Amino acid sequence: MPAGLAPKLKLRIGTRGSPLALVQARQVGADLERLGNGEVTCEIVTFTTGGDKLTTQRLINAGGKGLFTREIDQAVDDGRCDLAVHSLKDVPGALPDGQALLAFPEREDPRDGFISLTGVKSARDLPAGATVGTASLRRESQTLAMRPDLKIVTFRGNVQTRMKKLEDGLADATYLAMSGLERLEMTHVAVPVPISDMIPAAGQGIITVAARPDDLDPAVVDLIKSLNHEQSRLAATAERAFLVELDGSCRTAMGGHARLEDGKWLFDGEVLEPDGSRRWMQADALSGEVTDEALAGLGRSIGQRIREAAGGDLPAFEDD
């Protein structure tokens, strides 16, 4: 147990109530209890967020990025929860005043997973004019970049809801994050999409723990930070810098992905026209030991180069 931690401490963890969100929050809670050597207990507090209430709309029609975190952030701010567990890709670039992202446990597979109940393995192999269900503007644009003839319909809901929509014939195929399927032990339903075809959303595959560090005992902050996986934390640093540089929102189709390969930090980023007709892609690398500042600079540099290549103004989806 970290020095100075009060005995028999109870921590309230805020999370969405979806099956995947609960798996993530419970794992964080179990890890905190383990690292607390029996002196910490965790209570899961669930919330229905604005994003959870959407069943047919895109996020841009209801307030954009932050719809899956806003109610939980408020609960942390007003003391109903001590910390929150989020999927990093849902977290806006600007955090609520006083909040910080304190921990980034080890990243799961960041790729998108392609799902079809007909045995088709890729959007490239779908029949002409087939329908793909997604509520992600990024996935929509990337799909149309591969196959302009495909029809996109809006799919919202958790993993189980989207699988049911496929079974009901509302689309021929859809996508789900491989990381979520891993956590739910459902990877068998999907085929991973190469990152060269679909650069993931910034932060995809990473969960994060948010809190108000100034309102917590320093020993609790240290306990939360002990959940960090260093490579995942560094990747998050680069990807969020990229997101902030491009003022990432749910109106722009964009992907950014950092990873460590053979001793080098690689970063791929892109922005696409809504219809997939054009895409602006940039890549770069850093060698040797790197600092947080260097990785943030890598992400910002990729974002700046994409903006310049696109002529300064990024293409954006319009409200439906």
Q: Could you give the residue numbers annotated as active site?
A: 90
Cα end-to-end span (Å), the chain: 52
- Listing DSSP states for the chain in one string gives --TTPPTTEEEEEEEE-SHHHHHHHHHHHHHHHHHTTTSEEEEEEEE--HHHH-SSS-GGGTT-TTTTTHHHHHHHHTTS-SEEEEEGGGS-SSPPTT-EEEE-PPP---SEEEE-TTS--SGGGSPTT-EEE---HHHHHHHHHH-TT-EEE---S-HHHHHHHHHTTS-SEEEEEHHHHHHTT-GGG-EEPPTTT-PPPTTTT-EEEEE-GGGS-HHHHHHHHTT--HHHHHHHHHHHHHHHHTT--TTSEEEEEEEEETTEEEEEEEEE-TTSS-EEEEEEEEESS--HHHHHHHHHHHHHHHHHHTTSS---PPP-
Q: Report the relative pairing of strands 131-133 and 173-177 from DSSP bridges.
A: parallel
For the chain, the C-alpha Rg in angstroms (whole number) is 20
Tokens 């723990």 sit on residue: 209
Write out the two tokens for 101: 């992202």
Cβ neighbors of 97 (< 8 A, separation 6 or more) are none
Alpha carbon of residue 239 to chain centroid: 10
